[in-house]
Amino acid sequence: MNEFELIERFFARPPRAASVRLGVGDDAALLVPTPGCELAASVDMLVGGRHFLADTDPEKLGRKTLAVNLSDMAAMGATPKWALLAVALPDNDSAWLASFARGLYAVADEHGVELVGGDTTQGPLNLCVTILGEVPAGQALTRAGARAGDDIYVSGTLGDAALALAATAGRTSLATAVAATCRERLDNPTPRVALGAALRGIASAAIDVSDGLTGDLGHILERSGVGATIELAAIPRSEALAAKLAGSDRALALRCLLAGGDDYELCFTAPPSARERIATIARTCALPLARIGVIGGGAGLVVRDERGEPLSALPQAYDHFAAASR
């Protein structure tokens, strides 16, 4: 199977949406944008051994490769529409490719996204998706709109993906069933696309939690020129993480909750006047939305522990170059 046979066999499914005039097979795809919308464009790279473990199930990897990009669209309040896939593959293992493509197309179909092109080379496993989405002009959610007095929310629960990683690395132990649930959060994240779209015109700022809450919320604070106070007790967590937090692994659990990446929940801000509408959105999306704190005027982030005392040192979010810049 040469390069072109590989593309033809695994990545050339004919587009179903009228928004694709020309998909895979030519020098470029031809896309039909919706009048009155702005394009949201984003790219994410997943590197083998760094973003995923070598033994990751290829179907889940296919899902995750696209899901993390959809999460960026969700954070913008954009509707994802078109994806391009650049891959470096160590070899042309058709069983692996079939599973990977199945996972990728499954997530694409769940969200009405079309794979319209890409690039394929031989090399160390590297998966890179460019996603294009649409948002009604002027309505995108950005990191820059948080104002003093706004509430801060987080969807779902945080920390389980990092807990799974810690368990895999032998830094903590989890019961088998719990380990499986957490590992599912790590390997198969659910992008909060419907939530992002529902928050248009309501949220003042939004970001997806991919690198950890304190770091990602920190980006909102920096971009918005505000500070914040959040309550540790209000940060939504699974029973497994809550148990770790109450036990001897508290420090690790704190890191997972505050600075664990890979959860792909949304963190957003909104004025108190929006509380009822946000409660309705939580019901419509069947997704808990927890109010974890408030935006304040001063700079920086304060996290108050269960007794209301500020945490003295905040765990740091993941940074690929943190070691190099020290």
Summarize as ranges the residues that interact with ligand ADP (CB under 6 A): 7, 11, 24-27, 85, 87, 115, 117-120
Q: State the SS3 of the chain.
A: CCHHHHHHHHCCCCCCCCCEEECECECCCEECCCCCEEEEEEEEEEEECCCECCCCCHHHHHHHHHHHHHHHHHHHCCEEEEEEEEEEECCCCHHHHHHHHHHHHHHHHHCCCEEEEEEEEECCCEEEEEEEEEEECCCCCCCCCCCCCCEEEEECCCCHHHHHHHHHCCCCCCCHHHHHHHHHHHHCCCCCHHHHHHCCCCCCEEEEECCCHHHHHHHHHHHHCCEEEEEHHHCCCCHHHHHHHHCCCHHHHHHHHHHCCCCCEEEEEECHHHHHHHHHHHHHHCCCEEEEEEEECCCEEEEECCCCCECCCCCCCCCCCHHHHC
Please tell me whether residue 8 binds Mg ion under the rule CB under 5 A. Answer: no
Q: Cβ of residue 76: shortest distance to ligand ADP, in angstroms?
A: 23
List the single partner that 25 binds among ligand ADP, Mg ion, none, CB under 5 to 8 Å by kind. ligand ADP
93 versus 119: smaller Cβ distance to Mg ion = 119
Of 119, 239, 305, 319, which one interacts with Mg ion (CB under 5 A)?
119
25 versus 124: smaller Cβ distance to Mg ion = 25
Q: Cβ of residue 318: shortest distance to ligand ADP, in angstroms?
A: 27
Region of 91-99, 117-125, 129-137, 199-207 interacting with Mg ion (CB under 5 A): 117-125
Q: Cβ of residue 23: shortest distance to ligand ADP, in angstroms?
A: 8
Number of CB atoms found within 10 A of residue 159's CB: 34
Ranked by CB distance to Mg ion, the top (closest) residue is 119
115 versus 241: smaller Cβ distance to ligand ADP = 115
List the single partner that 27 binds among ligand ADP, Mg ion, none, CB under 5 to 8 Å by kind. ligand ADP
Burial class (CB in 10 A: 0-12, 13-18, 19+), 110: middle
Number of CB atoms found within 10 A of residue 5's CB: 11
105 versus 153: smaller Cβ distance to ligand ADP = 105
Please tell me whether residue 309 binds Mg ion under the rule CB under 5 A. Answer: no
27 versus 276: smaller Cβ distance to ligand ADP = 27
70 versus 87: smaller Cβ distance to ligand ADP = 87
Region of 101-109, 115-123, 151-159, 299-307 interacting with Mg ion (CB under 5 A): 115-123
Q: Cβ of residue 131: shortest distance to ligand ADP, in angstroms?
A: 13
Q: Cβ of residue 84: shortest distance to ligand ADP, in angstroms?
A: 7
# of chain residues touching Mg ion (CB under 5 A) = 1
List the single partner that 58 binds among Mg ion, ligand ADP, none, CB under 5 to 8 Å by kind. none
Sign for the CA dihedral angle at 251, 206, 320, 163 comes to positive
13 versus 147: smaller Cβ distance to ligand ADP = 13
Q: Cβ of residue 69: shortest distance to ligand ADP, in angstroms?
A: 14
